Amino acid sequence: QVQLVESGGGLVQAGGSLRLSCAASGIFFNIAAMNWYRQNPGKQRELVAGISIGRDTNYADSVKGRFTISRDNAKNTVYLQMNSLKSEDTAVYYCNAKNAGRDYWGQGTKVTVSS
């Protein structure tokens, strides 16, 4: 059974930083593309950042230069370092794994940025 468990969310002031973590189990992590999405009530879930098996990364334009995605295959964990946070970054952040044609999701972690 695949499990993705996010952690690291919370309340932070604008301009601050948070690091999200997503620990994966039940999956061949080193051959899974990993992504972070976020969603607000009534809005579509949007891709924030992704990292491929070969560690190529991609980012939403709104977070480029502020967020960094990384992965530690030895720990089966993907991270999202978020700096210079803005109020518009407030959302529930979800970890996503793509492996063997399937998508897996974590339960989400809430990030609230106060202005």
Mean model confidence pLDDT for the chain: 96
Give pLDDT, residue 27: 83
Q: What percent of the chain has pLDDT over 70?
A: 100
Give pLDDT, residue 3: 95
Q: Is the pLDDT of residue 85 over 90?
A: yes
Give pLDDT, residue 15: 98
For the segment 23-45, what is each residue's pLDDT rounded down to a tens digit? 999 888 888 999 999 999 999 99
Give pLDDT, residue 79: 98
| Mean pLDDT of all residues in 47-75 | 97
Give pLDDT, residue 60: 98
Confidence of residue 22 (pLDDT cuts 50, 70, 90): very high
Half-sphere exposure of 80 (CA within 13 A, CB side): 32
